[in-house]
Structure 1
Amino acid sequence: MKKAENATMRNNVHGFTLIEMLVVLIILSILATIAIPSYRQYAVRNAENDVQAKMLQLEIELERWRAKSLTYQGFQPRIIDSSNNTVTYGYADSPATNKTIYVPDGSDASNYRYKITLVDGDAPANSLVNTAVNATGRTWKMIAEPEDSGITTYASRMMMNSAGLRCKNTSKSTFDETNADCDTGQEEW
């Protein structure tokens, strides 16, 4: 009786054929070729939207500062520590140059997606904190540069200034705070 049961069990054992495995692999590879570029595009768009929102927030903070002080000189951006919900004021590179703000909030030089450089619009070598130079603080300029490794390698560089310029450049063109606009290939945002 045991021999008959073993023979019956052997006939009921099913597995995957090579053809079935190949069909599954083909379907998975097709899904991966669609999903990975879509995810990359979504992640880049999300990082760009985050930095645009941060730049607009900084613009509002700058205008509030100017309304109280009648100058942008001495401006310190608001920094929110998401771990304990505390608010402080300053720059990520303070007191070295007082120009750098990392996005997203809570990130630093080791884990940011975008780095915003905020400088005096007339003298880009100066930060807005510089109170030793009387001319500092009449205008401002922000440059947002994506982290050049990881998913944001494909993201746009952006610029914004106190005169109302908002531009971005998706090419690998290099522009910095000394440029008047986003260089060849720019588009508004």
Structure 2
Amino acid sequence: MSENKSSSSLLKSIIYGVVFGVLTGVLWAYLNPVPIIPGMIHLRLFSFIPPVVGIIFGMKAGFFSGYIGTVVWGLLAGTFIPIHSLIGDGIGVGFTGLIPAMMVGAKYSLADIAEKKNIMWKSLLWSVLAGVIMIIISCGSLAILGIFDFWWGVFWIGIADIPTICLTPFIAKYLAKKLQNVNSIDEMRA
């Protein structure tokens, strides 16, 4: 029975990850109106989605949300670079969903996330740290491929992603309040 429950939970995590990944990629591709470096880097208004998905729906869903979102965005926006998008950027953005989920989402119930203020600060800390790790991985990949200088990329992608990643604790708290009584989500998060 527990093996059945475990495979069902894994399947739900993957489904949530795919759904939120596609949503993330589409939103990044079509609703990023503020160019920071025109044609290259736009303010990612939805960079909070992978960490929020990770905290609310679990580590697997968070990672897949970021990874798939990056691939979908690259394909739709015409910026897909196979080695970079699938390895460097995909894994780096996947970490923005995985790390906050490991450090916050897996440790607390949705009721705790909804009610305890100190969890908001932990959520902010781990989401920003995951964003910095993602930026380093992504910019390292772009620098190795000769697309642009590492520190130049760190600066501009940092400006594009970190401000909206800082919205994570507020959105996670709001969603946790709304979803805390949905038993299947807590089972999946375990």
What's the TM-score, normalizing by structure 2? 0.26
Q: Which has the higher strand share?
A: 1
Q: Which has the higher helix share?
A: 2
Q: Give the number of the structure with larger relative contact order, counting CA–CA contacts within 8 Å between residues 6 or more apart.
A: 2
